[in-house]
Amino acid sequence: MRVHAPVPGRVLELADVPDQVFAAAIVGPGLAIDPGPDAEAVTAVAPVAGRVVKLHPHAFVIVAGSGQGVLVHLGIDTVELAGDGFTVHAAEGEEVTTGAPMITFDPVAVAQGGRSPVCPVIALDGGAEQVHRLAPAVVAAADPLFDWT
C-alpha cells in the first residue's frame, strides 16, 4: 500500500520526532513531516483511501480496504489544545479518497504555543521492515511518502 504525505514539509525519520513514544516507534513504524516555521493554515489530507475510523481535531486514523490503518498526528502534544486552532473537514465513519481534506491547522500557532508542529505518519500494527521510504527530503501534500508491504 502506498502512503502519501498528509502535509507539505521536510521529511523526518521517526527517531527525530520530539516525542519518545513516536521516536521509539512504539505506536508503529513510519515517517514524520515538519511543516516548517512559516507554514500557516495547512490542510492535512488523507494519506490513503479508506474509512475514517478515528477522528480528533489533532489526529486521525484511516483504515484502507486491505485492513491496514494509518495514523496521522498533527503536531506533538496538540491534544492539550482541545481542538483550538483545528478545523475538521471529515467525519468518523466516512469513506475518503487519497488527498481528501481532513483537518486544517496552523503549525505556526502550534509552535508559538511551545509545541512541535511535526506530524508523525504511522503504519499501525506494521513492522519496521514493511515500511519503505519513497519521499525525498521535502514533500508536497499528497506526494508519495512510503510503501507499506
| Residues tagged active-site | 73
- As a whole number of angstroms, the distance between CA 2 and CA 38 comes to 28
Cβ atoms < 10 Å from Cβ of 64: 17
- C-alpha to C-alpha distances, 26 to 42, 57, 105, nearest whole angstrom: 27, 22, 25
Cβ atoms < 10 Å from Cβ of 99: 15
Residue 69: left if φ>0, alpha if ψ -120 to 50, beta else—which one? Answer: beta
